[in-house]
């Protein structure tokens, strides 16, 4: 049975053999201003698909494993983490890419070669989907006969009926678009039947069942969506694929190398997460059990200690990965945008830590274990481990005080109440910095309901007051003139030693100008870098 490290390396080595260049993962800080985080393997390759950049590889092929976060915005799996076996805020996406080079035949043939012939997936448990538009609904494009023919040939080679193993997919499941306009095309997915007998004949494909899950998506970018709704054939066609690394590991490891399908695969039952669980067991004195609530349920009884603790283990391990990789990429917890998403994630991890008995900072104690598992694949994690620990310790220590106060107020307020009022939930948020999702978590644990309508009404009123205040804000230019020249080092490092050149006080603000800085002062309404400056052994924001 292959380890997670071996599975990842096997994927990259396979496509290296097929003349793909192995490229490093892009940062979790996305290139696109419309994204909170890098959330898909294709993000870093968009300029090649658009023809803005020319691929630097010969042939024009690449493969990688991409760090991804889906928490906040359109793609948000945060609230599902811990309650099932496969949702994460951080995950790896394995992919292979062709930029005007090979197309459907090679992409499909190689997918089969890797999954069936090299890894040993049982072909009879695999179902491929192909795009079949419903013209009565105005679906774009045409039936993907070419992809169907290639899959059919492969299934027939194993004595399987392609009419059973190939499932027609609609525009929602099997047509990929970058946006309202731009490059797009049909896709083929590979799904795996995980039922004990493996005899569902494709009936569970795309039915949101954890007994039949998608493992790989092959996107064939062959059209350009025009502003008038038409589809123009692209002069050069591209391939964009994505395989869920954690899902691949769970299927291969939890079935004992495809020998036993009696046990439902779980991403958390793999060696991707087991080292973190082992460390958490040592730190907490508790034991992890791979148990879950009923499918689709988030109702966990307050007395069900084993289930409460299992969820806590999973949430902490998942959130620790998200936080550590983000901080290593220079995204710090804060009060706005993606930075606030990270702060919420950290606070959720701290709250779940209380279920395991942690009342003091503990997240940083898990970082070395994470580095041991992932430091070679993502060297930036190892290089910035000390920074990751420092930020986690500082944020966690600060929030522990808030959490203690919030728990005290919550217990006092709800001691005799049947629900949590919107006014009280808003007070916890506005006065004590207590995120609403944590208030919801406390309410869930005690079987209480929250007046979310009342909370949202008060939030809307606060936003309106903030908008009114902004309208009357006076903007003035900074009265600071200097001949000092500062060298920007942030493209290469996220910290540096520097010499103070000038110091100037403007109102309540103190401006320190140094000869070097890793902090980038962005313009055009964007948010500048933020961090710490240490002078004489004392650090300050």
Hey, CA dihedral for 224, 230, 235, 238, is it positive or negative? positive
Instruction: Label the pairing between strands 166-169 and 61-69.
Output: unpaired
Q: Are residues 441 and 434 in contact, defined by beta-carbon separation less than 8 angstroms?
A: no
The tokens for 151 are: 């899959």
DSSP 85-114: SS--SEEEEEEEEEESS--HHHHHHHHHII
Three-state DSSP at 233 gives strand
Contact 331, 28 (CB under 8 A): yes
pLDDT at 523: 42
3-state helix, strand, coil in the chain (%, to 5): 40, 20, 40
Dmax of the chain from CA atoms?
79
Number of helices (H), then strands (E), belonging to the chain: the values are: 16, 17
Q: List C-alpha distances in Å: 489 to 65, 270, 383, 515.
A: 27, 40, 16, 10
Angle at 460 between CA 34 and CA 38, to 5 degrees: 20
Size (the chain), residues:
541
Bridge partner residues of 176 (DSSP): 185
SS3 182: strand
β-sheet bridge partners, residue 175: 186
State the residue for tokens 């300050």.
Answer: 540
Tokens of 338: 């993606």
pLDDT of residue 465: 86
The CA distance from 241 to 217, in Å, is: 5
Q: What is the distance between the alpha carbons of residues 241 and 493, in angstroms, rounded to a whole number? A: 32
Question: Tens-of-pLDDT digits for all 541 residues of the chain?
Answer: 899 999 999 999 999 999 999 999 999 999 877 789 999 999 999 899 888 899 999 999 999 999 999 987 666 778 889 988 989 999 999 999 999 999 999 999 999 999 999 999 999 999 999 999 999 998 998 999 999 999 999 999 999 999 999 999 999 999 998 778 888 999 999 999 999 999 999 999 999 888 999 999 999 999 988 988 889 998 899 999 999 999 999 999 999 999 999 988 999 999 999 999 999 999 999 999 999 988 766 666 555 788 999 999 999 999 999 999 999 999 999 988 999 999 999 999 999 999 999 999 999 999 999 999 999 999 999 999 999 999 999 999 999 988 888 889 998 888 877 789 999 999 998 888 788 888 988 888 788 889 999 999 999 999 888 777 665 444 444 455 566 667 767 656 778 888 887 776 655 567 788 878 888 665 433 446 677 787 766 656 5
Cβ–Cβ < 8 Å for 406, 432: yes
Q: What spatial distance separates the first Cα and last Cα of the chain, rounded to whole Å?
A: 49
Element (H, E) at 212: strand 212-225
Burial label, 21 (beta-carbon count in 10 A; 0-12, 13-18, 19+): middle
List Cβ neighbours of 226 (8 Å cut-off, separation of 6 or more).
Answer: 181, 232
User: Do residues 87 and 81 touch, judged by C-beta distance below 8 A?
Assistant: yes
Element holding 428 (H helix, E strand): helix 422-432
Residue 516, classed as helix, strand or coil, is: strand
Residue reference for tokens 């790896």: 92
The pTM of this model reads: 0.82
At which residue do the structure tokens 């994204």 appear?
Answer: 35
Distances in whole angstroms, Cα of residue 322 to Cα of each of 54, 71, 316:
32, 9, 10
The pLDDT, as a whole number, for residue 393 is: 97
- Beta bridge partners of residue 505, listed in sequence order: 510
| CA 510 – CA 93 distance, rounded (Å) | 44
């Amino acid at each position: 049975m292959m380890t997670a490290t071996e599975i990842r390396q096997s994927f990259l080595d396979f496509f290296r053999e097929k003349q793909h260049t192995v490229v490093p993962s892009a940062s979790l800080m996305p290139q696109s201003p419309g994204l909170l985080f890098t959330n898909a393997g294709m993000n870093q390759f968009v300029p090649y698909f658009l023809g803005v950049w020319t691929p630097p590889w010969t042939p024009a092929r690449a493969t990688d494993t991409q760090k991804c976060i889906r928490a906040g915005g359109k793609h948000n799996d945060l609230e599902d983490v811990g309650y099932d076996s496969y949702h994460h805020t951080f995950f790896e996406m394995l992919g292979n890419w062709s930029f005007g080079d090979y197309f459907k035949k090679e992409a499909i043939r190689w997918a089969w070669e890797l999954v069936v012939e090299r890894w040993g997936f049982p072909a009879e448990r695999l179902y491929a989907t192909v795009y079949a538009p419903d013209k009565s609904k105005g679906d774009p494009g045409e039936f993907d006969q070419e992809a169907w023919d290639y899959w059919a040939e492969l299934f027939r080679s194993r004595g399987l009926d392609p009419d059973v193993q190939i499932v027609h997919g609609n525009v929602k499941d099997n047509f990929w678009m970058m946006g309202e306009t731009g490059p797009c095309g049909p896709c083929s997915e590979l799904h795996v039947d995980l039922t004990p007998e493996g005899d569902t004949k494709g009936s569970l494909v795309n039915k949101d069942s954890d007994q039949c899950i998608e493992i790989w998506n092959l996107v064939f970018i062959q059209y350009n969506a025009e502003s008038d709704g038409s589809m123009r054939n692209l002069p050069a066609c591209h391939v964009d694929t994505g395989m869920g690394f954690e899902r691949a590991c769970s299927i291969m490891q939890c079935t004992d190398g495809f020998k036993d399908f009696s046990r439902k695969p779980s991403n958390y039952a793999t060696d991707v997460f087991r080292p973190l669980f082992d460390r958490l067991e040592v730190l907490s004195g508790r034991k992890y059990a791979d148990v879950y609530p009923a499918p689709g349920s988030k109702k966990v009884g307050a007395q069900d200690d084993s289930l409460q603790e299992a969820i806590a283990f999973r949430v902490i391990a998942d959130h620790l990965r998200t936080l550590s990789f983000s901080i290593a990429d220079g995204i710090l917890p804060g009060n706005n945008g993606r930075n606030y998403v990270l702060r919420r994630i950290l606070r959720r991890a701290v709250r779940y830590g209380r279920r395991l008995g942690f009342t003091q900072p503990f997240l940083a104690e898990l970082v070395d274990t994470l580095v041991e598992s992932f430091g070679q694949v993502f060297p930036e994690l190892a290089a910035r481990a000390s920074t990751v620990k420092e930020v986690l310790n500082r944020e966690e220590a600060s929030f522990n005080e808030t959490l203690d106060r919030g728990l005290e107020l919550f217990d006092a307020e709800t001691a005799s109440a049947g629900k949590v009022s919107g006014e009280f939930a808003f007070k916890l948020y506005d006065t004590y910095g207590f995120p609403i999702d944590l208030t919801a978590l406390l309410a869930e644990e005690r079987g209480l309901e929250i007046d979310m309508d009342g909370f949202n009404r008060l939030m809307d009123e606060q936003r309106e007051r903030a908008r009114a205040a902004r309208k009357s804000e006076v903007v003035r230019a900074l009265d600071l003139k200097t001949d000092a020249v500062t060298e920007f080092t942030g493209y290469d490092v996220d910290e540096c030693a520097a010499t103070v050149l000038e110091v100037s006080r403007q109102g309540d603000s103190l401006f320190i100008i140094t000869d070097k800085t890793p902090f980038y002062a962005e313009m055009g309404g964007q948010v500048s870098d933020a961090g710490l400056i240490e002078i004489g052994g004392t650090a300050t924001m």
